[in-house]
Every structure is written in structure tokens, then in C-alpha cells.
Amino acid sequence: MEETRKGSEEAKSFPRSGGLFAVLREEMRLRNYSNKTYKAYKSHLLEFTRYISPRHPRELNEQEIRDYLLHLIHDRNFTSGTISQVISAMRFLYVELYKRPFAIAGIPRPLKGQKLPVVLSLNEVKSIFASLGNQKHRIMLMLVYSAGLRVGEVVRLKPEDIDSDRMMIHVHDGKGKKDRYTVLSEVVLEGLREYWAAYRPKKWLFEGQSEGKPYSIRSAERVFEKAAAKAGIIKAVSIHSLRHAFATHLLEQGTDIKFIQELLGHRSVRTTEIYTHVSKKEIGQIRSPIEWIIQPKGTKTK
């Protein structure tokens, strides 16, 4: 009984050392938040508690929390996306843990600018694949592009997720803890069979150096970075650019945007609509007015 009371008091006080983050992890697990989100929230709240030390977060009022956010914007040059994540972490702290929603109720989220993704052309994607001599690395990147996978999704694939009868890939626990199916290409299936014969993976489709562990996200990112550099790609791209290319190329080929939304696992079609801004399907049909004045070389005069 004494131990129960003691544990309850510790949880109530949320000390800044280990206690706060132990409770944070527990509460986020109960709400089915991902470990990635927990780590992000923990990082932001750790920085927050260090900044206000020796004061406790419970002691701050709304204006003092605003002042901290303004410090991150003006002094630390945090982006609107990062500030929005900091606010999410602080909302969880004050609303879910401290039950003090009034402390943060009036704090607005910053307006988020819309940045368009950098899109690789078909030839650029082809050149990236061609630059890879390692069979495992090549098929991994081909899977990312051919199925529109996130890097965290491709490294967590298991052999049984490849459904060759239905020509589908079962993606488990995607963003937002959502499962979905996406397309399995015939070309990729052939490559996977060759890869399987050579590597014989057990638990994970792409296994890391440690037995029973999946290939790491950072290792997959490095594979792409080296391949892109070798292929001579000068655009500011990452492995996620293959997912952007998948969506944009499908759109340019006439695939309905609702199908693309399902394949990507987007909650709203509005998220998928960003690819309409980078597709050359419509923009590519428009001629610049300068061509009415100066004709490109090789164009016959009418």
C-alpha cells in the first residue's frame, strides 16, 4: 500500500530527471503513439525543461510559454514545422499529463508554408538504379520507388508481406499506425526472387548486420545518397524523393489521384494533391509566351 502511494506521488510530481519521461512514454504508449513521436516529444520537452530550470513546468503561465516559443523562433531560428511539433509536445505535457489545458489554450500554431517536393525524372530514377552494383541495395531502392514506400516502411518489411499471388505488398504500421496495401511490380518481384535466392533473409526482408535486426533507416538513406551522387544527381534529394517520384509519375501517366492517395497511405486527398503542383502532365502542355516571340532552335517557321 505504501509503495502504491509512493508511486502515485512520484507520477504526480513528474520530476525533471527520469520521472517525467517515464510517465511521458507510458502515457504515449497507452494512446498508441509511435516511438518516433515519443523521441521527438521527449527531445523538445527536455530542451524546454532545461531552458526554464530551476523552475518546474507547472509553475509557468501562458505568457511565459509564449516567451519560450518566441525565443525558439527569433533566437534559435526554428522553422514553423518544428515550432508546430514543439507546441504538440507541450500540449501533450500540459493537457494530457498536467491536466492544465488553460496554460496553453491560447497559443496559436504558426502558419505553415507549402514547400513543393523535388521530383526525380524517370531517367534520373533509372540512373540511380543503374549506379547500384549491390543487389540488396538496388532491390531495396527499387521497392521504395515502385511501391511508393517510406524508408521506415521498406526496412520493416517481412518476407510474408510480399503477396506474389495478389501482386500486392502489405505495409504494416505505416504513418499514423495505419496498415495498407500497395502495388507489387512484376519487375521488382523478379528482382526479389533473385535477391531471395542469394541472401535467404529470415525475419526481415532486408536484414541488418545484427542478427534478428532490420536494416537501419540511416543505412538505407546512405545507400540512396551514395547512389544519387554516383549517378550525378545534383538536385537536393533524399530517399523519400523516390516516393515523391512514384506519386508524380503515376499522376503524369493518368492514374486517378484517389488511387494514388490509397497507395501512399494519405489520410486526406489534399495531402496527395501537392503532386498536381509538380506534375508536368498539364504544365508541360503549356508553351511559354517567349516562344511566340523567339522560336526554339530547330523549330520550323509556320
* Residue pLDDT, tens place only, 64-78: 999 999 999 999 988
User: Domains in the chain and their CATH numbers?
Assistant: 10-103 (1.10.150.130), 122-283 (1.10.443.10)
Q: Measured between alpha carbons, how far is 170 from 96 in angstroms, rounded to an integer? A: 33
CA 72 to chain centre: 23
201 and 207 Cβ atoms separated by less than 8 Å: yes
154 and 144 Cβ atoms separated by less than 8 Å: yes
Least confident of 128-137, 241-250, 255-264: 255-264
pLDDT at site 13: 39
pTM of the model: 0.71
User: Average pLDDT, stretch 33-48?
Assistant: 91
Sequence-distant (≥ 6) Cβ neighbours of residue 80 within 8 angstroms:
110, 111, 112, 113
User: Average pLDDT, stretch 65-93?
Assistant: 91
Q: Which amino acid is at 164?
A: S
* pLDDT over threshold 60, residue 290: no
- Local confidence band at 11 (pLDDT 50, 70, 90 cut-offs): very low
DSSP at 216: P
Continuous H helices in 148-216: 151-154, 186-199
Cell of 179: 496498415
Q: Which residues are catalytic?
A: 150, 175, 240, 243, 266, 275
Q: Which residues pair with 51 in a beta bridge?
A: none
For helices 135-147 and 240-252, give the axis angle rounded to 10 degrees. 50
